[in-house]
């Protein structure tokens, strides 16, 4: 089981938890398991089967868009982080 | 070295922007076949990389007529861009108003006031997004203000394409990887355009702040924001950096290399070391956006890291 970190803006879809667990060997599989457990999350995070442009997904500290996208492997000890796209600081 | 090797005489302070030094970080390179270099943007006149884009946005607006005599410059900024605009506004005779989240370090407000800028506070819990929204509301329909809007102004990446990028190519001609913090995306986008035109194989790596819970004040995902100037297709990798790792990075910069960098410099350095480890050989350039001066009050260098981590959770320091 991998740990999935849920940002504050999405917590009402997972009963208020900061962290949940989900299983799967890839990001797609982990998300499918997550959506099966928390169905309302699917529409908020995806658009027509693709990740919404306003959500970024990381395995540990690395953005999956620059790795293998939804096919990026996830190990049992990995943490999947969902984060809304936000303006960074340094501005 | 000749006593004048790094010296130049400029017509005014705005002409002294850019041309920053690049320093090899031999003690931080992960292995001998990889050379790591830091471009010290803290050497700009107001102490940050933002002098480059502020000058470019204002000069372009003056040329196009978008900024007219007597108009006030209004901009959302977590500090550095506001400080650069305040300096330029003072120099050129335009009042400057900066919308800044209320959870940044006091040095930024001090510098802004020193340059004569007016500060409008936005709720810290809403982060930079909140400052952007408030500035847009204040500027809407008000002909007395001009908003450069660094997040959507093409002069931002262009400044880096035309100055920072060519400087890096002159200083480290065989650059294989470039690492910088991700804020507006202007630095990464502009430098990437310049470097990829000269060296298509170069890898562009973003160091992104892991936002604390308390600064993720979005009410819905649709309030999320991808800055229009960021061209994500130019990035090759993107890492999240915790405040803890950023603090450790800035301490290593000071301890091992004698470089006094700000928090985003620590973060970019941490990512550069990590990403450089995956190279068999090559040259990595990391851009250090500012020096440590504006963070002295937060005492990032000597306090207990756990204690700092809790405190930084609710603040906006990059």
In this prediction, residue B216 carries a pLDDT of 55
Number of domains making up chain B: 2
Domain ranges in chain A are: 2-84
In this prediction, residue B4 carries a pLDDT of 65
Residue B8 lies in a domain: no
Residues B117 and B265 in one domain: no
Residues B178 and B36 in one domain: yes
In this prediction, residue B213 carries a pLDDT of 65
Residue B313 lies in a domain: no
Residue B272 lies in a domain: yes
Residue B151 lies in a domain: no
In this prediction, residue B157 carries a pLDDT of 98
* Cα B308–chain centre separation: 22
In this prediction, residue B31 carries a pLDDT of 92
Q: Would the CB atoms of B218 and A84 count as touching at under 8 Å?
A: yes
Residues B113 and B261 in one domain: no
Distance CA B119, CA B259 (A): 30
Total Cβ atoms within 10 A of residue A69: 15
In this prediction, residue B8 carries a pLDDT of 85
pLDDT at A29 over 90: yes
pLDDT at A86 over 90: no
Residues of chain B found within 8 Å of residue A65, distances taken between Cβ atoms: 232, 238
pLDDT at A87 over 90: no
CATH number of A2-84: 3.10.20.30
Q: Residues A23-26: contacts with CB within 8 Å, 24+ apart?
A: A24/A74, A25/A73, A25/A74, A26/A70, A26/A71, A26/A72, A26/A73, A26/A74
CB B206 within 8 A of CB B178: no
Residues B291 and B237 in one domain: yes
Closest residue of A to B132, CA-based?
Answer: A87
Distance CA B23, CA B67 (A): 37
CB B72 within 8 A of CB B95: yes
Distance CA A29, CA A20 (A): 15
CB B52 within 8 A of CB B184: no
Query: Residue B195's domain is classified under what CATH number?
Result: 3.40.50.1100
Q: Would the CB atoms of B211 and A63 count as touching at under 8 Å?
A: no
Final residue in a domain of this structure, among B146, B180, B207: B146
Instruction: Please state the pTM of the whole predicted model.
Output: 0.94
Domain coverage including residue B273: 13-48+160-306
CB B67 within 8 A of CB B61: yes
**Beta strand spans in chain B (E):** 22-24, 34-40, 72-76, 96-101, 118-122, 145-146, 177-181, 203-209, 237-241, 282-288
Q: Would the CB atoms of B132 and A84 count as touching at under 8 Å?
A: no
Residues of chain A found within 8 Å of residue B216, distances taken between Cβ atoms: 7-9, 84, 86
Q: Would the CB atoms of A55 and B221 count as touching at under 8 Å?
A: yes
Closest residue of B to A55, CA-based?
Answer: B221
pLDDT at A23 over 60: yes
Q: Which of B80, B208, B224 sits opposite A54 (nearest CB)?
A: B224
Question: 3-state SS of B261-292?
Answer: ECHHHHHHHHHHHHHHCCCCCEEEEEEECEEC
Phi and psi at residue B7, in whole multiples of 5°?
Answer: -100, 150
Residues B223 and B291 in one domain: yes
Distance CA A2, CA B191 (A): 36
In this prediction, residue B127 carries a pLDDT of 80
Residues B123 and B218 in one domain: no
Distance from CA of A2 to the nearest CA of B (A): 18
Residue B127 lies in a domain: yes
Per-residue pLDDT of chain B (318 residues; tens, 9 = 90+): 566 666 789 999 999 999 999 999 999 999 999 999 999 999 999 999 999 999 999 999 999 999 999 999 999 998 899 999 999 999 999 999 999 999 888 999 999 999 999 999 999 888 888 899 999 999 998 999 999 999 999 999 999 999 999 999 999 999 999 999 998 999 999 999 999 999 999 999 999 988 776 555 556 666 677 889 999 999 999 999 998 999 999 999 999 999 999 999 999 999 999 999 999 999 999 999 999 999 999 899 999 998 888 777 766 666
Q: Which of A9, A66, A81 sits opposite B236 (nearest CB)?
A: A66
pLDDT at A91 over 80: no
pLDDT at A51 over 90: no
CB A77 within 8 A of CB B305: no
Q: Would the CB atoms of A7 and B216 count as touching at under 8 Å?
A: yes
CB A68 within 8 A of CB A39: no
CB B206 within 8 A of CB B235: yes
């Amino acid at each position: 089981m991998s740990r999935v970190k849920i940002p504050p803006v999405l917590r009402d879809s997972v009963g208020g938890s900061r962290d949940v667990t989900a299983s799967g060997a890839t990001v797609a599989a982990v998300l499918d398991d997550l959506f099966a457990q928390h169905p309302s999350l699917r529409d908020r995070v995806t658009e027509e089967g693709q990740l919404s442009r306003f959500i970024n997904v990381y395995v540990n500290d690395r953005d999956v868009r620059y790795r293998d996208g939804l096919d990026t492997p996830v190990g049992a000890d990995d943490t999947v982080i969902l984060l809304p796209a936000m303006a960074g600081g340094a501005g | 070295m000749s006593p004048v090797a790094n010296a130049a005489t400029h017509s005014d302070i705005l002409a002294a922007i850019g041309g920053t030094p690049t320093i090899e970080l031999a003690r931080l390179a992960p292995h001998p076949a990889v050379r790591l270099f830091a471009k010290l943007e803290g050497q700009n006149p107001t102490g940050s990389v933002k002098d480059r884009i502020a000058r470019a946005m204002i000069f372009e607006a003056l040329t196009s007529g978008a900024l007219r005599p007597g108009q006030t410059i209004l901009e959302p900024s977590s500090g550095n861009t506001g400080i650069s605009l305040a300096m330029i506004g003072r120099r050129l005779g335009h009042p400057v108003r900066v919308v800044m989240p209320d959870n940044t370090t006091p040095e930024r407000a001090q510098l802004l006031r020193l340059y004569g800028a007016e500060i409008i506070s936005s709720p810290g819990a809403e982060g930079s997004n909140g400052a952007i929204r408030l500035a847009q509301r204040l500027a809407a329909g008000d002909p007395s203000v001009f908003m450069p809007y660094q997040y959507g102004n093409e002069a931002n990446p262009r400044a880096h394409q035309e100055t920072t990028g060519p400087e890096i190519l002159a200083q480290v001609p065989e650059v294989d990887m470039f690492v910088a913090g991700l804020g507006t995306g202007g630095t990464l986008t502009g430098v990437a355009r310049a470097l990829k035109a000269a060296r298509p194989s170069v890898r562009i790596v973003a160091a992104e702040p892991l936002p604390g819970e308390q600064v993720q004040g979005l009410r819905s995902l649709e309030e999320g924001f991808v800055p229009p100037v960021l061209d994500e297709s130019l990035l090759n990798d993107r890492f999240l950096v915790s405040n803890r790792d950023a603090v450790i990075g800035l301490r290593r910069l000071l301890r091992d290399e004698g470089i006094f960098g700000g928090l985003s410099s620590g973060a970019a350095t941490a990512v550069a070391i990590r990403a450089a480890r995956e190279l068999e050989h090559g040259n990595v350039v990391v851009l250090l956006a500012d020096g440590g001066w504006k963070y002295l009050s937060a005492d990032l260098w000597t306090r207990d890291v756990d204690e700092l981590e809790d405190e930084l959770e609710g603040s906006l320091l990059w």
